[in-house]
Structure 1
């Protein structure tokens, strides 16, 4: 879970091109990953709050 959190944080801070070059993803994969994870942080925080 920590790895996914770190990747989400990177996706918010860096453009998809940079992510793809740094992590070895195809750029379109990095772009799709960013689109899929928009808003994930808020949902994740809401999920953890009751714990």
Structure 2
């Protein structure tokens, strides 16, 4: 049977978690970008920002 290296296993788990978190962040950024694009394309003509007087 192969010897289990705990430090290597922890490093691999950490790297996997880091990649997963980066992937989640990329998804969040894409959703945000697409949401703003849809808002600007479909809702902007109806949106009247408040004027600062």
Which category of TM-score, normalised to the shorter sequence, fits these structures?
A: under 0.3
What is the TM-score normalised by the length of structure 1? 0.28
Under a length normalisation based on structure 2, what TM-score does the superposition of the two structures give?
Answer: 0.28
